[in-house]
Amino acid sequence: MTFIGNVTFQFSPIYGKVALNSRNIINFDIYGAFGMGATRTVDDLNALQALNDPIALATQVQTHPTTTFGGGARVIFNEWFAVRVDGRSLVYIETVNSTTLEMKNNFILSGGASFFFPNMP
Domain definitions of the chain by residue range: 3-115
Phi first, then psi, for residue 22 (nearest 5°) are -70, -10
Share of the chain above pLDDT 90, in %: 50
Burial class (CB in 10 A: 0-12, 13-18, 19+), 66: buried
Phi-psi map region of 54: left, alpha, beta (phi>0 left; psi -120 to 50 alpha): alpha
Shortest CA distance to 84 belongs to which of 113, 64, 59, 62?
A: 113
Question: Global pTM?
Answer: 0.74
Q: What is the mean pLDDT of the chain?
A: 87
96-114 pLDDT per residue, tens: 777 788 899 999 999 999 9
- DSSP tag of 44: -
**Cβ atoms 25, 19 nearer than 8 A:** yes
Report the pLDDT averaged over residues 29-57.
83
**pLDDT (0 to 100) of residue 45:** 74
Q: pLDDT at residue 28 above 90?
A: yes
**pLDDT (0 to 100) of residue 120:** 47
Element (H, E) at 66: strand 61-76
Q: pLDDT at residue 121 above 90?
A: no
Shortest CA distance to 66 belongs to which of 29, 100, 41?
A: 41
* Rounded Cα distance, 86 and 109, in Å: 6
57-80 pLDDT per residue, tens: 777 788 999 999 999 999 988 888
